[in-house]
Amino acid sequence: MKQPKTLQAAIIFYADPDNCLNHLVAQRWPDGVECPTCGGKEVKFIPTRRIWECKTKHPKKQFSIKIGTIFEDSPIGLDKWLTAAWMVANCKNGVSSYEIHRAIGVTQKTAWFMLHRIRLAMQDEDAGKFQGHVEVDETFIGGKARFMHKKQRAKMTQPGMPKGGANKVIVGGVLERGGKVRTQILENRERNTLQGLVRDNVEFGSQLSTDDCHSYWGLDKEYAHGIVDHAKEYVNGQIHTNGLENFWSLVKRGTQGNLH
């Protein structure tokens, strides 16, 4: 099924209930519709109500596409749900509840509720460790002093405060190339903290790329550890952290899109 490429096309596409239903069926049951209660495939579609009925005798024989999803028990139509999900997936600079409220015609409170459910569905429950070629890096998340109230700015720029990362949150990231990204809030950038982040999330013996932060030194005994010194270069063959640098860029632009 051809997917919409623009917001206008998405609104038109998902306005058709058949398109919504067919799209979700293809995503949820690519091998055929299954009963969510018993797992049986002997089901009958009831087109007048757009639901299915399982031929096996048990409670809750009838079910809709919403059962067991973030759309369950929601009076909001699939046309609005899927348009909102399309916006979250395609707006790389982030999308706020106010923007969704204006685009699909729901209240801001409803849009806020929808965003939380969509983001919950996007979370990865797999707690396994990354393997292959993995990048590890950290960044600071927070506002810039020049955009703050003068009292807050004076507090951040007073003598003795560290430059750049003052009053900001330290976030560590682990990226599996060709795979996924995992992030974690860190208390500091000391050796025990950063090496603990690596050991908790990266399979022993994997190929590891980091920058030249001293806290990563010593990991070569457990991993194929490659270091790129950003004072000299950003890429040394396959050793770089550009994947995570791109991710941090998207995260920070996304927070601007949500909180502007």
Question: Considering only CA atoms, which of 160, 220, 213, 154 is closest in space to residue 188?
Answer: 213
Residue 134 pairs in a beta bridge with: 176, 208
The answer to the question of residue 1 being in a domain is no
In a domain, 116, yes or no: yes
| Final residue belonging to a domain, choices 60, 91, 122 | 122
Hey, how many other C-beta atoms are within 10 angstroms of the C-beta on 156?
A: 17
On whether residue 190 sits in a domain, the answer given is yes
DSSP, residue by residue, 136-198: EEEEEES--GGGS-HHHHHHHTSTTSPTTTTT-EEEEEEEETTS-EEEEEES---HHHHHHHH
**Cβ(50)–Cβ(77) under 8 Å?**
no
Over the stretch 4-21, which tens digit does the pLDDT of each residue have? 899 999 999 999 999 999
Are 218 and 103 in the same domain?
no
211 and 248 in one domain? yes
50 lies in some domain: yes
* Residues 89, 140 share a domain: no
- Tell me: do 96 and 157 sit in the same domain: no
Q: Residue 184: is it exposed, middle or buried by C-beta count within 10 angstroms (0-12/13-18/19+)?
A: middle
At residue 132, what are phi and psi to the nearest 5 degrees?
85, -135
In this structure, are 199 and 94 located in the same domain? no
- The verdict on residue 2 lying in a domain is no
Say whether pLDDT at 96 is over 80: yes
Q: Convert the pLDDT of each residue in 148-165 to its tens digit.
A: 788 777 766 555 445 555
By residue range, what is the domain housing residue 64? 7-122
Closest CA to 147 of 157, 161, 162: 157
Residue 127 belongs to a domain: no
Count the domains in the chain: 2
The CA distances from residue 150 to 154, 155, 191, in Å, are 6, 9, 35
Indicate whether 233 belongs to any domain: yes
Do 77 and 118 sit in the same domain of this protein? yes
For the chain, where are the E strands, in sequence order? 43-46, 51-54, 62-63, 133-141, 169-176, 181-186, 207-211, 224-228
Percentage of the chain modeled with pLDDT above 90: 67
84 shares its domain with 190: no
Rounded distance, CA 255 to CA 71, Å? 25
**Are residues 69 and 39 both part of a single domain?**
yes
Q: Are residues 53 and 158 in the same domain?
A: no
Report DSSP state, residue 2: P
When pLDDT is averaged across residues 167-186 and rounded to a whole number, the result is 90
Task: Identify whether residues 31 and 148 lie together within a single domain.
Answer: no
pLDDT score, position 3:
81
Confidence of residue 107 (pLDDT cuts 50, 70, 90): very high
Same domain (yes/no): 255, 137: yes
pLDDT at 121 exceeding the cut of 70 = yes
CATH number of 227's domain: 3.30.420
**pTM flag (> 0.85):** no
- Are 60 and 221 spatial neighbours (Cβ–Cβ below 8 Å)? no
Establish if 115 belongs to a structural domain.
yes
Domain boundary among 103, 122, 141: 122
Same domain, 148 and 99: no
Q: Which two tokens stand for residue 38?
A: 């018993």
Residue burial 91-109, b: 16+ Cβ < 10 Å; e: rest:
beebbbbebbbebbebeee
